[in-house]
Structure 1
Amino acid sequence: MPPSSQEAVLAWLKDKKFTTVLDAPSGDGWLVKGLKAQGHGEEFDGIDLYEAAAEGYRRVWKHDLNEGLPADCSTYDLVCCCEGIEHVGNPLLLFQAFKRCITPGGHLVVTTPNVWYPQARLQYLARGFFPSFPCLAGKIVYGSHMHIMPWNWPQLYLYLKLAGFDQIQIVSEPLSVAKHLHEKILSLPALLYARRRVRKARTDEERGFWETAGSDMAVRGRHLIVTARPT
């Protein structure tokens, strides 16, 4: 996960109130280190496929998120899934498990590469594969660290709603900004289309979806930080 994206996640969490945290996947423990540096003294649990228990966690399960969460997983005020869902073949199962383990009023934070930005669409048009999601023929091993599920704002919104989440929003970050002039130009049709759909929206939910879909974060960003709360 890019350092600038880590900083954006930590900035969003800085003023939030929570006492128990699930970090899945936990990786090298950057989330715990960052939150503790901010003065948060929560109880942290982690889940990861490969990493040994990093410092600062109360408990770390070695577990495959394709199978949901460990049976003895507790409940948490905050669940963070940073750079994990692109590796998971059963994302709805995982999101439903997250929903069950989040306390009322709690938060879910999900981060993942975004395949909706113009350069990614151009590469898909030319090759049939998004950046960071290459052809895996001859490399497919179940349980390995592969990018198998590309995500964009509409797809992520859909899965989170199906899993029972609401208040789904994108957090702005440095990677939300287009890097090249041609990306700004090529993204204009999508931005204009979303604005038309905002005007035609019949419900607040539909209007909110298209307002976000027509944002730089959704259309031009190379990375997504999405937050949600269980209904």
Structure 2
Amino acid sequence: MGAAEPTSSLQQLYEDPATPVASGPDRARRQAAILARALGPTPSTVLDIGCGDGSAAATAAQELPRHRLVGVDWSQDALRRASARLTAVRGELSAPGLPFATGSADAVLFSEVIEHLVDPDAALDELHRVLRPDGHLLLSTPNLAAWYNRALLLTGTQPVFSEVSLRGIHGRPGSQVVGHLRLFTARALRSMLPAAGFRVVRITGAPYHDVPRPLRPLDRAACHVPSLASILLVHARAVPRRDGAPRREPPGEEGS
């Protein structure tokens, strides 16, 4: 997490050391395994956008020993922690953009980031720009339509993962504010990603580490039906955009 646009209140939240900057280890392993199968043995450049403390990239590195992983975040606190695990650079999904050349990445890990963004459309445009044609996007995000959220809404309770305030928890289970601005369903992602120039290869599910222990077997079972799973894992590939929109070239690019 942590690559959201730096509005003042969000920046304060993400620079707070108490704010979580890592996704669950189970989903990180699942993403890494999907990416390893997709890339094969050919050495590739993988960007972990919104790398947080670098734990997800460290997990991915075990599955991707031949590949170059670079972490990107705009939170200085997250970068300080990530730099102990991998090469990490500061970058933003909003202007001036990521410090990488157009088409320079073979794959992008985008774990638990899109739900924090003010403008996810612009972010997907920037990811599309840095990916080579047919490059891989591995995106994960909480599922608004998770099995327990459906039950909570029937009782008039605010769904898990949703937040109405950056100052406290109101009307939902949980005890920590993490800065979620948008939530997605599998159906929404299947529509939104193609509109941004990505072909969805597959959507799978992953469990959520904060589900109460007695309910964890049910949460794992829900992963077999992605539309009900706690976490959505999406594998997509970059394709030429129909709108022909120009791609900006940010200053100070890294790579070629």
TM-score by length of 1: 0.71
1:221 corresponding residue in structure 2: 229
1:169 corresponding residue in structure 2: 202
Helix, strand or coil: the match of 1:14? helix
1:99 corresponding residue in structure 2: 128
> d(CA) in 2 for partners of 1:2 and 1:13?
17
1:199 corresponding residue in structure 2: none
Aligned ranges 1:46-57 → 2 under 5 Å? 46-50=71-75, 51-52=78-79, 53-57=82-86
Gaps of 5+ in 2: 1-22, 169-176, 209-214, 240-256
Deviation at 1:170, TM superposition (A): 0.9
Q: Write the letter of the residue equivalent to 1:91.
A: P
Among candidates 163, 168, 173, match of residue 134 of structure 1 = 163
Q: Is the 8 A contact 1:133 1:147 kept in 2?
A: yes
Aligned residues: 192
Structure having the higher helix fraction is: 1
2:31 corresponding residue in structure 1: 9
* Alpha-carbon distance change, 72 to 3 in structure 1, aligned in 2, over 3 angstroms: closer
2:188 corresponding residue in structure 1: 155
Structure 2 residue 142 is matched with structure 1 residue 113: yes
Aligned ranges 1:61-80 → 2 under 5 Å? 61=90, 63-65=91-93, 67=94, 70-74=97-101, 75-80=104-109
TM-score by length of 2: 0.65
Aligned ranges 1:38-49 → 2 under 5 Å? 38=63, 40-49=65-74
Q: Deviations over 1:22-42 (max 9, x none)?
A: 111111112332233235232
Q: Write the letter of the residue equivalent to 1:42.
A: H
* Alpha-carbon distance change, 56 to 103 in structure 1, aligned in 2, over 3 angstroms: farther
* Alpha-carbon distance change, 125 to 115 in structure 1, aligned in 2, over 3 angstroms: same
> d(CA) in 2 for partners of 1:2 and 1:138?
24
Give identity over the alignment, percent. Answer: 23
> d(CA) in 2 for partners of 1:137 and 1:37?
35
Among candidates 26, 29, 44, match of residue 54 of structure 2 = 29
Deviation at 1:134, TM superposition (A): 2.6
Q: Write the letter of the residue equivalent to 1:16.
A: A
Q: Write the letter of the residue equivalent to 1:152.
A: T
* Alpha-carbon distance change, 102 to 95 in structure 1, aligned in 2, over 3 angstroms: same
Q: Deviations over 1:161-188 (max 9, x none)?
A: 110111341134456xx9587xx9xx9x
Q: Deviations over 1:130-182 (max 9, x none)?
A: 2121321756xxxx95111011111112221110111341134456xx9587x
Deviation at 1:121, TM superposition (A): 1.9
* Alpha-carbon distance change, 97 to 137 in structure 1, aligned in 2, over 3 angstroms: closer
> d(CA) in 1 for partners of 2:85 and 2:27?
21
Gaps of 5+ in 1: 188-214
Q: Deviations over 1:183-204 (max 9, x none)?
A: x9xx9xxxxxxxxxxxxxxxxx
Higher mean alpha-carbon deviation, 103-112 vs 122-131, is at 122-131
Helix, strand or coil: the match of 1:10? helix
Higher mean alpha-carbon deviation, 24-33 vs 75-84, is at 24-33
Q: Is the 8 A contact 1:23 1:44 kept in 2?
A: yes
Deviation at 1:46, TM superposition (A): 2.0
* Alpha-carbon distance change, 114 to 130 in structure 1, aligned in 2, over 3 angstroms: same
**Coordinate RMSD, CA, aligned:** 2.9
